[in-house]
Amino acid sequence: MATESSVWNTCNYNHNVTFFYDLVGKNISVGWTPRDSVVIGLGLTLCVIVVLANLMVMVAILLNRRFHFPIYYLLGNMAAADLFAGVAYANLMLNTGPWTRMLTKEQWYIRGALIDISLTASVANLLAVAVERHQTIITMQLHSNMTKRRVVLLIVCIWVTAIIMGLVPSTFWNCECDLEDCSTVAPLYSRRFLIFWAVLNLLTFFIMVAVYTRIFIYVRYQSRSMSQHTSEMRHNQTVVNLMKTISMVLGAFVICWTPGLMTLLLDGLLGKASHANSYEKYCLVIAECNSLVNPIIYSLRDDEMRRTFKWILCCLCQRGAHQQREPSTVEINSPLPETLGFVQKSAAQALCKTQDTNDKDGWTDPRV
């Protein structure tokens, strides 16, 4: 009996991915069903939308100088984490189902590490936003005095931490040397690591919710006790609106990720008895949707962000229309190609300016 136990706990790195799936009883599909094809198609489509939507958020923050403040840099980094999550989910879609059998252990670990990195980056970024907001709200300021160098250093630290946490399972905290500790959701991961991972993130969620609740209560109290001067009321309302937007981002993140983390926690504690494999895919879909929620929140809550989105889309559409009209100018051998080109360019600029005029007073080209 002792010999059997020692063999069971001996590190054997020659086992392939299929061995671990069979060990925990997680089935790998033999072939693709029509339902699987539809799910993969919809999943990849969602990933493309996630990447494009968050890319637009990053471009908007880059172009509009009114967003060149620490809080918006951090929100832009949050969009980068969501964009990274879209890429991670796309990689997961392209390496799932029957394709799982063809993965090496290194490829499988990379597939999981990408998801872990995106989650860690998002959580760390929300913590950074909480610290930044606490620092500024106590003095009822809209933006902190943090220098750009410190913001860049903070963003670098966030991604370094995320990468380190993503590499932990593949480097030393897995079940290859303790097969009894293998997870049913992620067969090569250690159940003890899943418990640590889930508890750490859930505890962080609770801390952030408590911090944001305290900040929001403080803002509401200060707003009511301050002078009713028009400029002060407008400033205070801006602070409150920004806090509401960030609170909605945090709330959406907690709602979307908590089911998945609870699934990992139950899998780590109960193993096969948790039956986590029966609902893990639904939790993954909910978590994936979170990467699309933030751009929607920005569009609904932030007027400046919404106007910048419109400006970007308007100029992209006019540029595309301008490029489509250029070949027709050459084909008909117009006697005045330069004049027509000038007219097309002027029309595109005029339409962009018209879009700006239709927005609220005082808003111009976001790059100004």
pTM, to two decimals: 0.78
Which pLDDT value is given to residue 114? Answer: 93
Which pLDDT value is given to residue 84? Answer: 94
User: For residue 108, which of 18, 234, 14, 219 has the smallest C-alpha distance?
Assistant: 18
Q: Are 289 and 255 in contact (CB under 8 A)?
A: no
Which pLDDT value is given to residue 15? Answer: 83
The DSSP line for 318-336 is HHHHHHHHHHHHHHTT-S-
- For the chain, 368 residues long, give each residue's pLDDT as a single digit of tens: 444 444 445 676 788 888 899 888 888 878 787 877 887 888 889 899 999 999 999 999 998 888 888 888 988 999 999 999 999 999 988 888 888 888 899 999 999 999 999 989 988 888 888 888 777 777 666 666 777 888 899 999 999 999 999 999 988 888 888 888 899 988 999 999 999 999 998 888 888 888 888 877 777 776 666 655 555 566 566 667 767 777 888 888 888 888 989 999 999 998 888 888 888 888 888 888 888 888 888 777 778 888 888 888 888 887 766 666 654 443 333 333 443 344 344 444 544 454 444 444 444 444 44
> Who's near 365: CB < 8 A, 6+ residues apart?
311, 356
DSSP helix/strand/coil, 368: coil
Which pLDDT value is given to residue 195? Answer: 93
Q: Are 184 and 276 in contact (CB under 8 A)?
A: yes
Which pLDDT value is given to residue 348? Answer: 44
Which pLDDT value is given to residue 237? Answer: 66
Which pLDDT value is given to residue 81? Answer: 92
DSSP helix/strand/coil, 190: strand
